[in-house]
């Protein structure tokens, strides 16, 4: 006998959320599957919070830095990246989470979630057309920058431990790598 899983749509997922069934469960929708999110250990929480505060100050009103909130993607996914840097659309977000066209880039901090973030989420973000995906590997203290989505992959990958980086959407700013990966 072959077993198969139920594939959920974003609409199904929203309906399930409204029922309250998932209230006490840390989950996200990834490629039609409701997946448990890894708990955040202290380093993960520290680095993502610190980076979020830094980027908020740096970007000012040019972008909204959204920490651990859903983004809605067309590939039946509603992940909750550690940081999503999105257009500051104000009250528009009362009726929908940011869509790919609203997203400048996303950042994931990964230790125990490294496998999921570097494979499943990598493909989901590329397929949705997220222009830039930054993956902070907390094990090696490296920033892996993926750019130029092409289908389910990104056309470029750069691994950094020092120096500065300018996000594609804001070429005029320079972000020290150390502010993202070290205490």
Q: Provide the whole-model pTM.
A: 0.94
Domains of the chain: 38-181 (3.90.1570.10)
Cα separation, 157 vs 154, in Å, equals: 7
Query: Quick one: 117 exposed, middle or buried, by C-beta within 10 A (0-12, 13-18, 19+)?
Result: buried
* Residue 169 main-chain phi, psi, to 5 deg: -75, -20
Cα separation, 132 vs 138, in Å, equals: 19
* Helix and strand counts by DSSP (H, E) for the chain: 5, 10
pLDDT tens digits for 51-107? 999 999 999 999 999 999 999 999 999 999 999 999 999 999 999 999 999 999 999
Higher pLDDT, 147 or 24: 147
Q: Indicate the helix (H) or strand (E) that contains 107.
A: strand 103-110
């Amino acid at each position: 006998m072959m077993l198969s899983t139920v594939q959920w749509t974003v609409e199904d997922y929203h309906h399930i959320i409204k029922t309250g069934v998932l209230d006490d469960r840390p989950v996200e929708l990834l490629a039609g599957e409701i997946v448990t999110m890894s708990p955040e250990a202290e380093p993960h929480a520290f680095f993502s919070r610190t980076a979020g505060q830094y980027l908020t100050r740096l970007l000012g009103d040019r972008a909204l830095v959204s920490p651990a909130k859903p983004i809605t993607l067309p590939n039946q996914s509603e992940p909750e990246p550690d940081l999503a840097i999105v257009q500051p659309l104000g009250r528009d977000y009362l009726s929908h989470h940011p869509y790919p066209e609203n997203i400048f880039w996303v950042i994931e901090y990964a230790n125990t979630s490294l496998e999921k973030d570097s494979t499943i989420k990598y493909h989901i973000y590329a397929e949705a057309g997220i222009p830039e995906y930054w993956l902070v590997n907390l094990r090696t203290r490296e920033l892996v920058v993926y750019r130029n989505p092409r289908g389910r992959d990104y056309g470029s990958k750069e691994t950094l431990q020092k120096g500065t980086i300018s996000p594609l959407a804001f070429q005029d700013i320079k972000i020290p790598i150390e502010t993202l990966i070290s205490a």
